[in-house]
C-alpha cells in the first residue's frame, strides 16, 4: 500500500491561512489523494480529494504537485473549529476502494 507522511502537529493563528503538507512519494497512477479531518469525539469528516489537478471546495483547497509525490491542504482562514486531526490518505481504486489511515497531523488553532 502506498503510504503518506505528515507532520505530527502544527499550530496556526485564528483567521490566518494554514498549509498542511503531505508526502506520498510512492503514489501510483490510480491512487486518489483524500483528506479527512477528525474533531474530538467525532467520526472522520470528508474534506476534499483529487487525482492530478488542484481542487477547491467550500471547506478547503488541495494543491497537488506536478509529479504527485506530495500535496498540500490549504485552509484559507483558520477558525477555532478547524482544530482537529487531519488525515492525508491515498485511496487505491483497485483495492476495495478502502481508505488506509495514517497518524495524521494535529492542527491547533490559537485565538
Partner 1 sequence: DAGITQSPRHKVTETGTPVTLRCHQTENHRYMYWYRQDPGHGLRLIHYSYGVKDTDKGEVSDGYSVSRSKTEDFLLTLESATSSQTSVYFCAIRDIQDGYTFGSGTRLTVV
- Residue numbers of the site for partner 1 (CB under 8 A)? 32, 34, 36, 42-46, 49, 87, 96-104
Of 13 and 28, the one with the shorter C-beta distance to partner 1 is 28
Of 42 and 53, the one with the shorter C-beta distance to partner 1 is 42
Of 42 and 111, the one with the shorter C-beta distance to partner 1 is 42
Sign of CA pseudo-dihedral 59, 38, 9, 79: positive
Q: Residue 73 Cβ, how far from partner 1 at the closest point, in Å?
A: 14
Q: Residue 104 Cβ, how far from partner 1 at the closest point, in Å?
A: 6
* Phi-psi sector, 47: left (phi>0), alpha (psi -120 to 50), beta: alpha
| DSSP string over 4-65 | -B--SEEEEETTS-EEEEEE-TT--TTEEEEEEEE-TTS--EEEEEESSS-EE-SS-EEEE-
Of 83 and 87, the one with the shorter C-beta distance to partner 1 is 87
Q: Residue 49 Cβ, how far from partner 1 at the closest point, in Å?
A: 7
Q: Residue 3 Cβ, how far from partner 1 at the closest point, in Å?
A: 12
Amino acid at each position: 500500500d502506498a503510504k503518506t507522511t505528515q507532520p505530527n502537529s502544527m499550530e496556526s493563528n485564528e483567521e490566518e491561512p494554514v498549509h498542511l503538507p503531505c508526502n506520498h512519494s510512492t503514489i501510483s497512477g490510480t491512487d486518489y489523494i483524500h483528506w479527512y479531518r477528525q474533531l474530538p469525539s467525532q467520526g472522520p469528516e470528508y474534506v476534499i480529494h483529487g487525482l492530478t489537478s488542484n481542487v477547491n471546495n467550500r471547506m478547503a483547497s488541495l494543491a497537488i504537485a506536478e509529479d504527485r509525490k506530495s500535496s498540500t491542504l490549504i485552509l484559507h482562514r483558520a477558525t477555532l473549529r478547524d482544530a482537529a486531526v487531519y488525515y492525508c490518505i491515498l485511496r487505491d481504486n483497485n483495492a476495495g476502494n478502502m481508505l488506509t489511515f495514517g497518524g495524521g497531523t494535529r492542527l491547533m488553532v490559537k485565538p
